[in-house]
Amino acid sequence: MYANIDGKQYQAKGGKITVVGYCRLSRDEDKENYSSIEEQKRIIKDYASTRNWIIEDKDFYIDDNVSGYTFNRPEFTKMLEKVKGGKIDVVIAKDLSRIGRNNGKVLVLIDQFKNMQKNLILVSEMGGTYDVLNDRDDTIGITTWFNERYVKDCSRKTRDHMYSKQKTGRLVMGNYYGYVKDKEDITKLYVDEEIRPVIKLIYKLYVEDGLGRKKICDILNSKYNYPTPSVYYRQKHLERGRIYKHPVQELWSTYMISNILSNDVYTGALRTHKKKTISIRGRAIKLPEEEHFVFENHHEAIISKETFELAQNIRKRKARSKSTSGTRKRNYAFSGLIRCGDCGFGVSGITMNRKQKQKGYECSQYRTYGKARCKCHEIKESDIIIHLKEFLKFTKQKYQNEINKIEIDVKTNKEQTNKEKIKFEIETLKAEYKVLLNQKIKDLAGNNNEYQKQMIETSYKGLELEKTSRIEKLQEILQKAEQDISKEKIKKLKTAMEYFNEIISAEVPSRYVLENIIDTIWIYSDKTVKFDLKVDTHKLI
């Protein structure tokens, strides 16, 4: 059945027409020229009233701050499903750009409305009102093309602007676990003292203790109470009164550890232009490292560059040996460091004596392919340790004078600077707390409604608790920092020779020491073991 209004045809069931309004707003693409949601609603209601239609607020479908280039919009999709299901007869919008800015998709949508005999009315389009079912659309393609060109031009300008800011280090995108942005200048990053310990712990467990990502996760989940990155980001969003829309993972996982171990932001470097989008609202693609912009000493480092580089070397070694070693159930002291001197390939960690659970190593080529690729040879881990200690003793005796000449530089720490930052943040929070109390008093004094007073009290109670809890946490961190500085002052510096003696006397050298000293260990079928040292042995100091 059709209803006739002002000479125009509208399909309806039982003579009753269901009319709705659609509003969309994208602050990115529309800039200062957009009509607000309320203004769009007013325009739509005014037009509807001239047709004796009543559109209430519940009859509006609104996508706020959503791009018109994509048609995957929550409210738009819901509305379109009802149009297709026959539950909506007429959709009114301010203009065609509110419906969409993708030329092809908008034209297809108009055809769909015509085929379904449902109407789409655009109040301010083509010099007047455009009615899909009743008006000619000879120039509608030009309008949709212009709308798409406009959003593409805005997108290009936005990308160019972002590229310029990335190139000069003025754009800090996203969140960084362990760092907070300056409220006044978001290009500045400061260490979050609550998270600093977990970053240091992860690098220590990985680099010095030689633990894998899974083992590190187990330790963090069972022994410590550090928040995971997603829990941390959610907490920061809540503090700013925002909703964190991404999935939150309460337990530590290996990919979180990988992200932290591979991110050079913890060395004080800012890395920008890591990704780019080819099309509007398209998927971002990763860019090669040579296209990145890196700004050294951009902010305070949590770990040294040497430690970070060491972690990357370990990650590469583990990646190379993963295919040959399979899933290890045991920790091997020299994993990833040993190669076969006969064929040049890596070696596999093996159990040489099942009863005694004696660890050893065997050429992976022989282990996989047999004598066709290499000779049969294996070596006990304990034998390598003996060879290593003898080698280090010989090196110490031969190069004793050179070792004694190595200067021990005291690493400058920024503990004092950190203390001052914490004190400043505490004072700032105290000032904010006073302002909060003053505002609470004003709100209560100007209100005689007991219910509203109770609501005000409840609201401010939560805000006050948030401030006082933060102050208490920072005071605890400050106290611990002062204690750590006191301990640091009484530490006795080791000489280079003392360091060498400590390595030799250890039952099993720590992974940190091995990674710094050893470049490659070569094992041969005649039981010979050869050690290639790294040139930068001064990293031990």
pLDDT tens, position by position, 49-64: 999 999 999 999 999 8
Cβ atoms 243, 236 nearer than 8 A:
no
Section 500-512 average pLDDT: 75
Cβ atoms 276, 152 nearer than 8 A:
no
Rounded Cα gap, residues 380 and 100, in angstroms: 70
pLDDT at 172: 61
pLDDT at 492: 39
Give me the amino acid identity at 384.
Answer: I
Tokens of 344: 């040049």
Neighbours of 495 (CB within 10 A): 14
Rounded Cα gap, residues 148 and 143, in angstroms: 9
pLDDT tens, position by position, 233-262: 888 888 877 777 788 888 998 889 999 999
Please give, one letter per residue, the 3-state secondary structure of 65-104: CCCCCCCCCHHHHHHHHHHHCCCCCEEEECCHHHHCCCHH
Give me the amino acid identity at 79.
Answer: M
Considering 13-17, 154-158, 169-173, 336-340, the range whose residues carry the highest mean pLDDT is 336-340
Give ∠ CA 470-472-474 in degrees, rounded to 5.
Answer: 70
Rounded to whole angstroms, what are the CA distances from 442 to 126, 435, 450, 453? 52, 11, 15, 11
Any idea how long the chain is? Answer: 541
Which range, of 39-43, 94-98, 335-339, 448-452, averages the lowest pLDDT?
448-452
Separation of CA 426 from chain center: 28
* 210 burial level (CB within 10 Å; 0-12, 13-18, 19+): buried
Cβ atoms 485, 415 nearer than 8 A:
yes
Per-residue confidence band for 267, with pLDDT thresholds at 50, 70 and 90: very high
Q: Which of 374, 356, 379 is nearest to 364 (CA)?
A: 374
Rounded Cα gap, residues 212 and 507, in angstroms: 21
In this prediction the pTM is: 0.46
In the predicted model, is pLDDT for residue 498 greater than 60? yes
Give me the DSSP letters along 194-211: TTHHHHHHHHIIIIIS--
pLDDT tens, position by position, 519-530: 889 998 888 888
Residue 11 bridge partners (DSSP): 2
pLDDT at 388: 86
- CB proximity list for 137: less than 8 A, separation 6 or greater: 110, 130
What letter does residue 16 receive in the DSSP assignment? B
Give me the amino acid identity at 162.
Answer: M
312-343 per-residue burial string, b: 16 or more CB within 10 A, e: under 16: ebbbeeeeebeebbeeeeeebbbbbbbbbbbb
Tokens of 195: 């998270």
Tokens of 434: 């006073």
Q: Where do we find the tokens 């902010």?
A: 299
- CB proximity list for 32: less than 8 A, separation 6 or greater: none
Rounded Cα gap, residues 325 and 337, in angstroms: 13
pLDDT at 362: 87
Q: Where do we find the tokens 């203390």?
A: 419
In the predicted model, is pLDDT for residue 151 greater than 50? yes
pLDDT tens, position by position, 182-223: 877 777 888 999 999 999 999 999 998 888 888 899 899 888
Rounded Cα gap, residues 45 and 24, in angstroms: 15
Tokens of 60: 């509006």
Long-range pairs, 214-223, Cβ under 8 A, ≥24: 214/254, 216/252, 216/257, 217/251, 217/252, 217/253, 217/254, 217/256, 217/257, 220/252, 221/251, 221/252
